[in-house]
Structure 1
């Protein structure tokens, strides 16, 4: 990754499109319409951003059914979600780690994530046509059941934030020491499509990953997956600072954070993506030369922009009622696993 976001913002004169925008929190609950469609509840709790069509079962053109979005680009009704991060105290109880907005152009955003759509890299599309996703498209990166370093997916990483602008120094596992400004979780998705299937049984095989991690130049797409699509990435800023007192950590000094999957290594990091951009808005953006904030119509770009107040006002009701705030004795869903 680049040294900091201010450096990235200074590259606005480049001639290849790149989107970077914030999405406020839509809902936190146990639903997963990609991996466990129709299951109420899903196996573990997720944090979700994007369009308000989100529910347990989502088919077809979901963007046409949403009426609002938590994302700053108001034509993006896609849904983006990851597991939720928890602090596990020395006494065995758990507390959800809150999210906070990323740096640069996220003023007023409540929680949520930062979303990227890049081409081959920040500075090039590799002289290829970048084809936007189609209605009904979905994909998954990572493995919620993975708790071993072997098989760790390229691009699923953590940064121990010294400040909000810290970049680089990424690890495949959770940081082992308290982080002064929290932990940034990063998910990079594959960007090579087979050109045929909007999904696959494992939600991954219709895509192929030629990325090298971070925002480095990806290798060419293989003949089996020849269509270059936007490189999607998530960044979530987890505010772990309230848990930095090591007297609260396990007595052996090991790091105390766990995903809602129950994984305390960090290797089960995963992200789900469900396309929902309105009409041809994403393709228009990919065909332009806009960069980050300049992709907004308010700066001469091709995409409509909404205010943080409008983002934050878009919410959906919880279908599954779990205790979200405060201390809990076990992770949501774990009592069902023991039955």
Structure 2
């Protein structure tokens, strides 16, 4: 099976060397977060999770996912990692909400939603210069409570792309697009690429990782002395199918954009992503050492096989269909800091319009 490289699709600069680019279908959508809120069910806000079916309320670092999972939604069959982000909701003029579905990326049209995952070795050299993540490794990027541009700028490359077509890869913004996007909205989540070489996690799930001191990972920027070990650049692309909401007659009367993250953020500055490493044995290091795009050394599976990997949710609540409030949030309060939409009572039907 061919796992398409980003460079083959000409979606990055021509200087980019081979990298892993593969699809992970959606595993489950629910209020669960074993990284930030271990042992709590439900967690404060809804997430969409992809990867191995060992995802649980609590995930002990001492029992890595490969020892617990029986399948994965990812194309590489030895990848039992879990990757997750918040969910995007559309807020109608009458104050009700509905979950925005995800759609597959270019080259993965048969995938069941989910996201595209990238692992990039050092760009600019055919020789591997990155150390793959170790069993028990986990990390977070972004802060779900951020609502200002100044706050969001603390994280590099957590952005949005307003897709004019499925090949659009320019015009990234820190905040949510303000106009209808012809092919949907892509959220881009890029993780830091330097590690302290000692800790597999940290209390805030971020202190053990860092950005290059200057430049970027792509430009070969050096790691700080406190975090000297280069790790692969982990990158998520999630495409939200906002197209059926592009009729601006459905948008707030003041013209503000209507999309809200499941933690109650309509600015987009609260973009964030979570990761628990779960590759079997040394499969990821082999891929990084080989600097391969298709990596025939790795065990792979078809998109159809990945789509079949599912799991029952741990939290029983409605997350789909029209809702009076985003799950876990109080009606009328969840987006006060981030949105000035209409407060029209929930009496008008909008279902027939979309």
- The two structures have a TM-score, normalised by structure 2, of 0.87
For the pair 1:135 / 2:130, whether they are aligned, the reply is no
SS state at 1:86 partner:
strand
For residues 173 and 179 of structure 2, the distance between their equivalents in structure 1, rounded to whole angstroms, comes to 12
Q: Structure 1: 5+ residue runs without aligned partners?
A: 296-300
> Residue 246 of structure 2 aligns with which residue?
244
Shift of 1:65: 1.2
More deviation, 204-213/168-177: 204-213
1:73 to 66, 76, 79: 76
Alignment of 1:218-237 (within 5 A): 218-237=220-239
CA shift in 2, pair 1:179/1:10, >3 Å: closer
**Kept after mapping to 2: 8 A contact 1:154/1:213:** no
**Kept after mapping to 2: 8 A contact 1:115/1:234:** yes
Shift of 1:216: 3.3
For residues 55 and 49 of structure 2, the distance between their equivalents in structure 1, rounded to whole angstroms, comes to 9
CA shift in 2, pair 1:260/1:213, >3 Å: farther
Shift of 1:6: 2.0
Shift of 1:71: 0.2
1:186 to 170, 185, 188: 188
> Residue 272 of structure 1 aligns with which residue?
274
**Count of residues in correspondence between the two structures:** 325
2:307 to 305, 312, 317: 312
CA shift in 2, pair 1:107/1:220, >3 Å: same
Q: Structure 2: 5+ residue runs without aligned partners?
A: 334-354
For residues 275 and 257 of structure 2, the distance between their equivalents in structure 1, rounded to whole angstroms, comes to 29
Shift of 1:128: 6.0
More deviation, 59-68/19-28: 59-68
Cα RMSD after superposing both structures:
2.4
SS state at 2:9 partner:
helix
For the pair 1:25 / 2:26, whether they are aligned, the reply is yes
For residues 215 and 108 of structure 1, the distance between their equivalents in structure 2, rounded to whole angstroms, comes to 31
For residues 336 and 62 of structure 1, the distance between their equivalents in structure 2, rounded to whole angstroms, comes to 37
1:64 to 64, 67, 70: 67
SS state at 1:222 partner:
coil
For residues 300 and 6 of structure 2, the distance between their equivalents in structure 1, rounded to whole angstroms, comes to 27
Shift of 1:129: 2.8
**Kept after mapping to 2: 8 A contact 1:102/1:237:** yes
SS state at 1:184 partner:
strand
SS state at 2:186 partner:
strand
Shift of 1:307: 1.2
**Kept after mapping to 1: 8 A contact 2:213/2:224:** no
SS state at 1:99 partner:
coil
Shift of 1:17: 4.8
Q: Deviations over 1:195-240 (max 9, x none)?
A: 1101001000000012889973241111100111110000000000
> Residue 89 of structure 2 aligns with which residue?
86
> Residue 349 of structure 2 aligns with which residue?
none
> Residue 147 of structure 2 aligns with which residue?
147
For residues 255 and 234 of structure 2, the distance between their equivalents in structure 1, rounded to whole angstroms, comes to 35
For residues 215 and 8 of structure 2, the distance between their equivalents in structure 1, rounded to whole angstroms, comes to 17
Shift of 1:119: 1.7
For residues 177 and 213 of structure 1, the distance between their equivalents in structure 2, rounded to whole angstroms, comes to 31
